[in-house]
A and B are shown apart, each in its own frame.
Chain A
Amino acid sequence: MNAIPADRLLWEESLPGGNHWSGRLRRGTALRLTDLQGGANVSALFYNAGQPLERYSMPDTLKSQHTGFLTAGHVCQSDMGRVLCSITADSLGWHDSWCGVSDAAMVLARYGEKRYQQHRNAMHRNGRDNLLIELAKWGLGARDLVPGVNFFSKVVPDADGALSHVGGHSVAGSFVDLRFEMDTLVVLSSAPHPLDARADYAPADVQLAAWRADPVGADDACRTQCPQNGRAFTNTERYCGAAA
């Protein structure tokens, strides 16, 4: 793992397993997600912080890069043809963007009931409610909830498209780095993946660390990954008033 340069660290925070978080990451900053115990899942949504009608687009992201999963070199694209964030480093090689999040009925059926009254903050939470709670803080709601990215989770298809969740994919210390190319509202849930096959509700804690990123050069690995990414960067620079 590349160390985060100490003189450019902006903040660090831990996100407990099963919990939720949101915040703004400015253009030119980066965020590292680290799985602290192994078996984490972080469901992430990304919005243009100034105009949240623009948001992460699973189809545009996957089809323009001809990939079914995300890893280093890929970018998370908006539905307006721009790059919200780039994946600049990744210890895992596969993050899911197909399966969305669990909801209350799914968690109840799979893991049973654990309400706050008896279990305090060890209560069972679900991905959909986690995301909706954070979205509501920004004036957003169910209509803004779209398929996002499930960091640390791997789901593979067979030849007919039947999906299996790969258990044990993420180990303690697994990490992924995101560099923000626009001012971005980031909304996170650390509840388990909807296809997680483990019998117990077992979300892992995640460390968040933000820092000032290196400038994006013309030879940047995400930008040059494919011509499509290059054009998405051009669109983003035009939008941000940063075109050469």
Chain B
Amino acid sequence: MSKLLESTLNPAHAVLDQTCLAGEPWMATVRAGQTLRILDLEGNQAVDTLFYSALDAQERYSAADTIARNGQLYLGLGSRLYSSAGRVMLSITADTCGRHDTLGGACSSESNTVRYALDKRAMHSCRDSFMHAICHCHEAGVLGLGKRDIAPNINFFMNVPVTPEGHLSFADGISGAGKYVELKAEMDVVVLISNCPQLNNPCNGYNPTPIRLLVWD
């Protein structure tokens, strides 16, 4: 288990402080040197997150580069999030949860038909939130984002343990109300979040909940 470290940053001094409701996307630019806090307000929420270079949509968060270059399957305090060009995009500088997933990806209408039942296609999903965001959000328009840019994401607060034998499972969350992760941006990044609406597995207790996003200079 990763080490935990509380932040010294004061929410009263944040330059951005917003709530993202369950099942909704959120998108914003975080400048190099700024710190982003993702706060799990009610606990056990999965926050499906992608990052793009604010200058070039071709450079984005890369799950494979992050796993291989950290030599680690899970994210935690000290993890560096690498881009598809092999550069550090953000570093985890505070964490009160302890483990974040980089294997499980985002739920989608299509994957719900495979994982649960063919008739689950109509349920709301993270991929649909990503698609909604890339059709509506200002930053997505500036970068020209499309489906090609939706690659495997991070699931903050989600617990997807893999045994040494390679068995993968979705375990009960290790997050709780008020737990957070903080990331310091090492370059100007656009953050795309789908606050997961998944109702078919126990990772969030079948109860998707809101998150809070804060940014400090």
Q: A146 to B147, alpha carbons, bound, how many Å?
A: 12
Q: Does chain B have a CB within 8 A of A158? A: yes
Contact of B103 among A63, A77, A100, A141 (CB under 8 A): A63
Interface residues on A, range: 35 or more
A64 within 8 A of B: yes
> How many angstroms between the C-alpha atoms of A48 and B167 in the bound complex?
28
**In the assembled complex, which residues on chain A have CB atoms less than 8 Å from the CB atom of B149?**
143
Chain A residue with minimal CB distance to B63?
Answer: A147
Point out the residues of chain B lying under 8 angstroms from A162, CB to CB.
Answer: 71-72
A194 and B68 in contact (CB under 8 A), knowing A143-B148, A231-B113? yes
B170 within 8 A of A: yes
Q: Is B210 an interface residue (CB 8 A)?
A: no
CB of A118 closer than 8 Å to a CB of B? no
CA gap between A69 and B148 in the complex, in Å: 25
Interfacial chain A residues near B1, Cβ < 8 Å: 160
Given B68, B106, B169, which contacts A195 in the complex, CB threshold below 8 Å? B68
* A94 / chain B contacts, CB cutoff of 8 Å: 166
**Cβ-based interface call for A159 (8 A):** yes
A141 to B84, CA, bound (A): 12
Is the beta-carbon distance between A101 and B105 smaller than 8 angstroms? Answer: no
Q: How far is the CB of B114 from chain A (nearest CB, A)?
A: 5
Produce 1/0 per residue, B57-72, CB < 8 A to A: 1110011110111011
A224 touches B (CB below 8 Å)? no
* Number of B residues with CB within 8 Å of any CB on chain A: 49
Query: With A53-B148, A142-B58 in contact, is A156–B164 under 8 Å at CB?
Result: yes
**From A58, which residue of chain B is reached at the shortest CB distance?**
B152
A59 x B106 contact (CB < 8 A): yes
CB distance from A22 to the nearest CB of B (A): 18
> Given A58-B152, A146-B152, A195-B68, do A103 and B164 touch, yes or no (CB 8 Å)?
no
- A46 CB to closest chain B CB (Å) equals 15
Residues of A117-162 whose CB lies within 8 A of B:
141-147, 156-162
Question: A161 touching B168 by the CB < 8 A rule?
Answer: no
In the complex the two chains form, is A59's CB within 8 Å of B168's CB?
no
Asked if A141 and B58 make an inter-chain contact with CB atoms under 8 angstroms apart, the answer reads yes
* A92 within 8 A of partner (CB): no
List 30 A-B pairs, Cβ < 8 Å: A57-B152, A58-B152, A59-B104, A60-B114, A62-B168, A63-B105, A63-B168, A64-B114, A67-B168, A79-B108, A79-B150, A81-B108, A98-B73, A99-B68, A100-B64, A105-B86, A142-B58, A142-B59, A143-B57, A143-B58, A143-B148, A147-B152, A157-B73, A160-B2, A161-B99, A163-B68, A195-B68, A228-B114, A231-B113, A235-B113
The 8 closest A-B pairs by CB, nearest first: A59-B105, A100-B64, A81-B110, A161-B73, A147-B64, A99-B68, A161-B74, A68-B166
**4 more A-B residue pairs beyond the given contacts A79-B127, A105-B86, with a C-beta to C-beta distance below 8 A:** A59-B105, A79-B108, A162-B71, A231-B117
